[in-house]
Chains A and B, each alone.
Chain A
């Protein structure tokens, strides 16, 4: 199999604006190629669009809008983890030799249908993400003795990190007391604990080893990919741990030949505050029940190695774009061009993304 690298990325500003999903996809692709003017769009052999929008034929539409004629053009949908799922599929295309260069573009609108899973009848009227997230938060606190104040470190840090991300929608200088006094959404979630739906897009270009070395002098090798789908219904979920993320993380790190201690920078799925500590634990970056303490330590020390772009809480959450934007951030970090967000000396990066109460997950390990 061919080795695969990410060679360029572009993120269009996340907003609540009126852009259509087609316009958003094109905006991210324009950002990507504007930042890498030496790359010829004619080299793109596969275009994968990541979205939950429901509009038909979007990869072919984007190809036409951006003046590309790839061999393959299709759409990947996997709710919140659509973007990383599309990257995994694009990497497989390149690794198998079906394309030498593959473009992944993800986008969704703030009012799109990808925020929740309507199929699962077992969720009854409690089908919105705040319901499973509230059950997660309650279970995590009960099992590990964590408090709302412990979990509040997550939105405080990630919204502050997002202030240095020009593409972020929800950056803010908030305090723990701001979080704890924000509007109560459920008994276990407040307003600042919840990601903000927004319109946004991101694009990333993958290439085979030969093409990558020609297209950039700073490729980020995708050395590990792990995925796991344990089901879709809430019956498949464990309320205090992300079992699919545990499996995906193990698979990705095994493929890359590394462990959690080797990760210099990570973007992990934090659509709700409790998700970050659960993800850190699932990935082995924090011990069981120690994820909230790790998030608090990162805040206290100003350490940006987790969610430097602001995560989902700080950047906003257009589901089809989220995984691609996470990977763009890790690419920028490994290329040393993340500006004020830069984690010094980052050589190994990780992207974690999950969907629908962590019933499925994708993890990428990337290396400079």
Chain B
């Protein structure tokens, strides 16, 4: 299974290299450090908001989940969004062929 195929089924994973221990991110089938094949690991439990803005659909952010993994995702209304806030992935998948990541406060 690939990252994209898993995501299309609503499962967010983190490609990881068993040879050198680095994450292959942005998502890739090979490790950018040693070029070894990456395997899919569970996505990190929580991350921190490092950038925050909004549009007509609400707040969106860039969140850092460690190990070089960052994703841009949306936050729900009333989440009290702020830089530094701990978040987790509430839902992920694809819409119209593109990935989406819905985040929520990690303490929820």
Contact = CB atoms under 8 A, between A and B. Distances in A.
Interface of A: 119-127, 130-131, 134-135, 137-139, 142, 185-188, 232-235, 239
10 contacts: A120-B26, A123-B99, A124-B99, A124-B100, A135-B51, A135-B52, A187-B54, A233-B26, A234-B62, A234-B72
B27 interface: yes
The 10 closest A-B pairs by CB, nearest first: A187-B54, A233-B26, A134-B53, A135-B51, A235-B70, A126-B72, A122-B26, A186-B55, A125-B100, A124-B101
Contacts of A188: 53-54
Contacts of B101: 124-125
Given A121-B27, A122-B69, 5 more contacts: A120-B26, A125-B99, A134-B54, A135-B52, A186-B55
A125 B95 contact: yes
Contacts of B83: 142
B4 interface: yes
Interface string B3-38: 110010000000000000000011100000000000
B98 A186 contact: no
B72 A239 contact: no
B105 interface: no
A138 B26 contact: no
Contacts of A130: 55
Contacts of A134: 53-55
Contacts of A121: 3-4, 7, 26-27, 99
Nearest to B55: A186
B104 to A, nearest CB: 15
A124 B99 CA distance: 5
B25 A131 contact: no
B48 to A, nearest CB: 13
A187 B7 CA distance: 29
A107 to B, nearest CB: 28
Contacts of A139: 51
Best-buried of B54, B72, B100 by chain A (most CB within 10 Å) = B72
Nearest to A239: B51
Contacts of A135: 51-53, 61-62, 72
A125 B91 CA distance: 13
B52 A138 contact: yes
B71 interface: yes
Contact of B25 (A142, A185, A186, A233): A233
A127 B61 CA distance: 12
A119 B98 CA distance: 10
Given A187-B53, A234-B62, A239-B51, A124 B26 contact: no
A261 B25 CA distance: 39
Given A123-B72, A126-B60, A127-B98, A137 B3 contact: no
Nearest to A189: B53
Given A125-B95, A135-B62, A234 B70 contact: yes
